[in-house]
Amino acid sequence: MLTFKVAELEFFVEHGTTIQQICAQYDTPIIFGCRAAKCGACIVRILDGGKNLGSIGTCEQAVLDILAAEPDHRLACQCTVLGDVTVEVG
């Protein structure tokens, strides 16, 4: 069982579930735009469990670089949940 926490919400999800899938199924505060690592609208801070997300692809890294994101930021539209993860939005 994997846990994905965002804001005060907690979800138990299958290994390999994407954050986009979770947000499509439940009402979460994560805002999506392009859903393709282009706009940066979905940037979130990973409070815990960053190692439990899928790796950062070149497109995601390029947008994070443009946004001068901190190392604990990810684009939610590109993240796959592989273990316990805690996310902060905003």
Judged by beta carbon, residue 1 or residue 63, the one nearer ligand FES is 63
Q: Which residues bind ligand FES (CB under 6 A)?
A: 32-35, 37-42, 63, 75, 77
CB of 6: closest distance to ligand FES in angstroms?
Answer: 15
**Beta carbon of residue 36, minimum distance to ligand FES (angstroms, whole number):** 6
Q: For residue 2, what are the CA distances in angstroms to 12, 35, 57, 68, 74?
A: 5, 23, 22, 30, 19
Strands 73-75 and 80-81: unpaired
Rank residues 22 and 63 by Cβ distance to ligand FES and give the closer one: 63
Tell me how crowded residue 24 is: count the other CB atoms within 10 A of its CB: 11
